[in-house]
Structure 1
Amino acid sequence: MGVYLSTPKTEKFSEEGENEQLKYGLSSMQGWRTTMEDAHTALLDLEESTSFFGVYDGHGGRVVAKFCAKFLHTQILKSEAYAAGDLGTAVHKAFFRMDEMMQGQRGWRELAALGDNINKFAGMVEGLIWSPRASDSANVVDDWASEEGPHSDFTGPTSGCTACVAIIRNKQLVVANAGDSRCVISRKGQAYNLSRDHKPELEAERERILKAGGFIHGGRVNGSLNLSRAIGDMEFKQNKLLPPEKQIVTANPDVNIVELCDDDDFIVLACDGIWDCMTSQQVVDFVHEHINKESSLSAVCEKVLDRCLAPSTLGGEGCDNMTMILVQFKKPHVDTKSTSDADLSVPPESTETNAGEENGLCRI
């Protein structure tokens, strides 16, 4: 079987919810791909006054995306930085923590439990026979390194995933991204990128890859991976002389912190299956066109997925898995302060083809 089906799977998984501050809808679709490798998390109440949304786009299998959807937000909550109110540092550490947790016996066991027949890594078949002790609990997440077993030296999965997450606490929005999924905010109908697509051809990415001993061929890291940052992909993270943020491929996220204002309409988090087909501004315009016509935000997301789905696999674009989360801010905000266009600036090394159309919001 090739990478594409003979006919696309257009069945969608959709959900929605709301609280006093936000409404959200999401939808995901396998499309033309032979497997569905996306995962997501949507939690209106991660904690009091705090919401969490994440899109994880897997490659080489779905298991790492599923692992992040299960554990990344829990590690944010456990962080000392989070307890101190430093959301940016908390989410930054959580990205690296995913790589750490996927190594060793406990990491292997969790990945095996989340795996499927398409996604096999070293030792999975043997692990179907080996059983953990009955006293082991999936809720004990602080003792990952201490668990012993036949895969204690497991270095982590060769598959990986992108991660783009948004944390909303009162008026503060924190976006963290590693890979080519993207978060975009609509401010008075204008699209602003809150993340940067990490591609090997970006100067800073290329420099890190080459210094770590890697190479770029055909726009791919070591001729294989078409993005330069990801969680997992441990085969690209084996240089013992370098810290995690300087490996050929790194989980190191860009973190953007924005103060929300009354001009903010909604944010969109989506995998590259969407952004390969539509620009950030086109997605924002499409949402504005349909948001008052459809019965729910998830229905708007479904419309976007249908809009992006290719009629055939000949062109390549529109043939990927697709996941989109739409988060709408309820108005009016308590704080009536508004941020003017003069406060907006272009992020470094933006990959958007129309840079004048889509700028990045300045950090606080």
Structure 2
Amino acid sequence: MTAGTDLSRPFTVLDGRFSNDNRPPIGDENSEALESLKQMNIGKPPRHLSVIRHCISSAQLVAEDELELNIENIGPKSPANEKSVFLPIFRSGSCSDKGPKQYMEDEHLCIDNLLEHLGEVANFPSPGAFYGVFDGHGGSDAASFIRKNILKFIIEDSHFPTCVEKAIRSAFVNADRAFADTCYLDSSSGTTALTALIFGRIMLIANVGDCRAVLGKRGRAIELSRDHKPNCTSERIRIENLGGIIYDGYLNGQLSVARALGDWHMKDPKGSACPLSAEPELQETILTEEDEFLIIGCDGLWDVMSSQGAVTIARKELMLHNDPERCSRELVREALRRNTCDNLTVIIVCFSPDPPPRIEIAKSRVPRSISAESLNFLKGVLNSNV
């Protein structure tokens, strides 16, 4: 692998990685696709992302197998189940600002069309998209290297595309090790990383550090990642079990996050477990018509804004002009007005060409004395406790 490879142009080194010959043998591809459709019907992901292409094109399955099925309701056709399957259309916008800091150490990546970006060699389902925010510290070398190479590590992994989750986990760890081996870069610099890989309706969020992904679902904020702070109970236990210490909220008294790529001055030799982990946590979501947009931001945003507050602002902006770029700029401006102390990077990903619809709240005889934002927050809390 050549260090610093830029993903701004299609890969030329995949050597047919995506050809059917490299996939595990499948006994009955249509049966597997049907089983995957049943999995999706009960709210579960397909068994293999490699068969999403069948789920995406249910009309083709009907033509080939003469099956009368619908992804929403598997069974005989009727007027009630002829509703078309929701497929997201990806539109994104981003904004970065160095804020009050002297240097900008953030990096980010927005790819609305993976097939177009990677070229014809990429034999995976469409639509597909990829986004990432990388919040560097101790210099920008780590953030820049990971931005340029993380997608390449994912799609060149031996587990891709039959087991995308394993491919992503391996890619993060392998990218971290490759960065350490790149002699012309400062391996003591580090970065957090949050990526969103989307195939059709399936979205996989991978997170290392304290960037955050928040889904806007009809005005409600749904957090799809967990901030990896050293004082978080599960991270504290992991750190202490591996011999690390937490001093005043900092890992080994040095770092304000419990997971990061780079920072090799704080890590043990390659292959050994250490308190500072590069392994991502993954969250899988199946997008529905209620999922309007995704916010990915570095901690410079979340230090001064709640997840629900960001979703409320973003939704109002999108209802006004339906422009994710302007929406991301407004979130950055608002964070600056609230005196954030860090660099700022925000990505907004919309899943529909239309602006979010107005939310109608049923009228009550009793006057309502709670704001729409507070109401959505309470709904989120109640749903999370169900």
User: TM-score under structure 2 normalisation?
Assistant: 0.65
8 Å contact 1:50–1:170 — kept in the other structure? yes
**Equivalent in the alignment of 1:330:** 352
Give the alignment of 1:350-361 within 5 angstroms: 358=380
Following TM superposition, by how much is the alpha carbon of 1:46 offset from its aligned partner in structure 2, in angstroms?
2.4
**Equivalent in the alignment of 2:334:** 307
**Secondary structure, in 3 states, of the residue corresponding to 2:316?**
helix
CA distance in 2, matches of 1:186, 1:215: 36
Tell me if 1:319 matches 2:341. Answer: yes
RMSD: 2.4
Find 1:189's aligned residue among 196, 216, 219: 219
CA distance in 2, matches of 1:87, 1:98: 16
User: TM-score under structure 1 normalisation?
Assistant: 0.69
8 Å contact 1:193–1:361 — kept in the other structure? no
Instruction: Name structure 1 gaps, 5 residues minimum.
Output: 1-18, 112-120, 122-156, 312-316, 333-353
CA distance in 1, matches of 2:194, 2:89: 21
Following TM superposition, by how much is the alpha carbon of 1:310 offset from its aligned partner in structure 2, in angstroms?
4.5
Change (3 A) 1:50 1:302: same
**Secondary structure, in 3 states, of the residue corresponding to 1:81?**
coil
Find 1:35's aligned residue among 103, 124, 127: 103
**Residues 21-44 of structure 1, C-alpha deviation per residue, up to 9 Å, x if partnerless?**
111111101111000000011112
Give the alignment of 1:146-295 within 5 angstroms: 157-238=187-268, 243=271, 246-294=273-321
The count of aligned residue pairs is 267
**Equivalent in the alignment of 2:183:** 108
- Greater CA drift, 275-284 or 38-47: 38-47
**Equivalent in the alignment of 2:54:** none
**Structure whose residues are more often strand by fraction:** 1
**Amino acid corresponding to residue 309 of structure 1 in structure 2:** L
**Equivalent in the alignment of 2:157:** 79
Following TM superposition, by how much is the alpha carbon of 1:358 offset from its aligned partner in structure 2, in angstroms?
4.9
Tell me if 1:56 matches 2:86. Answer: no
CA distance in 1, matches of 2:377, 2:240: 27
In the TM superposition, structure 1's runs of 4+ consecutive aligned residues that sit over 4 Å from their partners are: 354-362
**Amino acid corresponding to residue 198 of structure 1 in structure 2:** H
**Structure whose residues are more often helix by fraction:** 2
**Secondary structure, in 3 states, of the residue corresponding to 1:176?**
strand
Higher relative contact order (Cα pairs below 8 Å, separated by 6+ residues): 1
CA distance in 1, matches of 2:166, 2:228: 20
CA distance in 1, matches of 2:134, 2:178: 17
CA distance in 1, matches of 2:380, 2:140: 31
**Residues 4-54 of structure 1, C-alpha deviation per residue, up to 9 Å, x if partnerless?**
xxxxxxxxxxxxxxx981111111011110000000111122234221000
**Secondary structure, in 3 states, of the residue corresponding to 2:204?**
strand
Following TM superposition, by how much is the alpha carbon of 1:202 offset from its aligned partner in structure 2, in angstroms?
1.3
**Secondary structure, in 3 states, of the residue corresponding to 2:129?**
strand
**Equivalent in the alignment of 1:116:** none
CA distance in 1, matches of 2:275, 2:230: 10
- Greater CA drift, 179-188 or 290-299: 290-299
**Secondary structure, in 3 states, of the residue corresponding to 1:309?**
helix
